[in-house]
Structure 1
Amino acid sequence: MSLQLSTRALTRLCVLPAATTALALSLVSPASAHVGATVSDASAGAYTIATFSVPHGCDGSPTTRIEIQVPESVLAVTATRNPFYEVETTIEQLEEPVTDGHGNEVTERTASVVYTADTPLPDGQRDTFELSFQVPDAAGETLAWPTIQTCQKGETAWTQVPAEGQDADELESPAPSFEILPASGGDGHGDETAAEPAESEAEAEAVPAEPTDATGATEAEASAPTDDGSSALGWAGLVAGLLGLAAGGLALARTRTTS
């Protein structure tokens, strides 16, 4: 009994510090979380929606303004409405015109999108902001979106970009970013359906036509017995069998008479 009590007491002593540590980590994690971005599709050339998440305020102060700076390789973005904010888009002129994905000449681009809160976002609550755009055709590159978080007291500039070979987790205030993936290789609409007839035609062309005789029938058809021939052979065999049976009966009768 004393051994069981000692084991239970030791278990409780071990569990208590672990639970206390886990609770402390859960309280610290939200305060150390960064403003981040996730995208619905990171493929080069894809049309995607980036969701920017603001998990907390500035050292406990409510958030009043979020400014998202658009990378230079992105020409235009469309901001999703947020009922608690006023949205303003900043446009800048390009030094030289460029051609967009639709072949149109573009002379200006979206430089930034600013969300100004009607009611400050409390420090203990989070909010998200969405932008839709076309991913640049630059697979392998990291697309950074420097973001300025302004609060009632203070400001946090999430603008740090890691140097080559540096881990973004080492930065104190990293800019939201994501890596551009290789293009998916098509819009994915009707590719399989369109391919089926072509494959069927190719298979049909790949099968050689069978040679035919003078009547136009194939060799297989000419060599195969017809149903009429099979029936005639069957009747002939039946007649031969009956004749043989009759001959055997006649021979048996003669043998008995002679006896």
Structure 2
Amino acid sequence: MKAPSSTLFAVATVLLCQTAQAHISVSSGPAFAAKSQELTFKVGHGCNGADTYRVEIRIPDGVGGVRPLDSTFGKAVVSKDGTGKITSVTWTKAAADVLPSDTQLYKFTLNAALPDTPFTTLFFPTIQTCRAADGTESTTEWVDTTTDHNHRRPEGTTASPAPYVFVLPARTPGWNKYTVEQHVHDLSVFADAQIVWAGSAAYSPNPSTLQLIEKEPNTQVLSAIHPGTEIWVKY
């Protein structure tokens, strides 16, 4: 790690990270490797004007210890495989509580132990069922996991994108040293860091700090991290 100048840290601040890429997204903030934590899924819209009636969230491989929370929407019902592992959680609204139109935002929460796979993306394919005022049901499958290095969907993709979390490594306040084994081309995953160093290159989510990095002699702006790179991150 190149010795950073004290000027850079004089203006460095911590920012919070929140990602919302789809109509169904994970809104509970950063997710950490090898940690049990709550994940909240936000359903912002129904289907073509119809109210959301049922939501099924599928649990990806590597995620264990799933404990869902009941909500005002309905009780959580789990499905398991032959080994007893929870493979999905479903919330269904009582038919009498279905609204005549799409007017509400819903949130669903479960606790889960995330795998020890930092700098990877976990997708949670989700099936959303809606019911119109006349009882007609329609379904949207948020199951597409096709993205590029920046979590952008390729042009021409028509399937609905699955909600996901980007798994960050465990951290402590101050400096943290990591060896990154994955491509990281979207440095917004460090949105709650003060600064990131990789050799003589640095990145900060804080615009003022980033300007100082650009002016720092013999320092480049870090724009991507490749497998096998050793980095230092200050939180």
TM-score, structure 1 normalization = 0.50
Alignment match of 2:40 (pick from 15, 39, 51): 51
The answer to which structure has the higher strand fraction is: 2
Residue 46 of structure 1 and its aligned partner are, at CA, apart by 1.7
Q: Indicate yes or no: 2:134 matched with 1:156.
A: no
Q: Identify the match of residue 168 of structure 2 among 176, 181, 186.
A: 181
Q: Which residue of 1 aligns with 2:62?
A: 73
Are 2:58 and 1:82 equivalent residues in the alignment? no
Q: TM-score, structure 2 length as denominator? A: 0.55
- Establish whether residue 136 from structure 1 lines up as the match of residue 115 from structure 2: yes
1:38: how far off? 2.6
In the alignment, structure 1 residue 110 sits paired with structure 2 residue 86: yes
Distance change in 2, residues 1:120/1:168 (3 Å): farther
Higher helix share: 1
Aligned-residue Cα RMSD (Å) equals: 2.3
- 1:4-19 alignment to 2 at 5 Å? none
CA apart distance, 1:166: 6.8
Larger radius of gyration: 1
After superposing on structure 2, the runs of 4+ consecutive aligned residues of structure 1 that deviate more than 2 Å are: 38-41, 163-172
Higher normalized contact order (CA 8 Å, seq sep 6+, divided by chain length):
2
- Report the number of matched residues: 142
Unaligned residue ranges in structure 1 (runs of 5+): 1-31, 95-107, 187-259
- Cα distance in 2, alignment partners of residues 93 and 39 from structure 1: 30
CA distance in 2, matches of 1:184, 1:166: 23
Unaligned 5+ residue runs, structure 2? Answer: 1-20, 132-136, 174-235
Matched, 1:120 2:98: yes
Once residues 150 and 29 of structure 2 are traced to their aligned partners in structure 1, the CA distance between those partners, rounded to angstroms, is: 26
Secondary structure of 2:112's aligned partner:
strand
Counterpart code for 1:73: G
The separation in 1 between residues aligned to 2:151 and 2:29, in whole angstroms, is 23
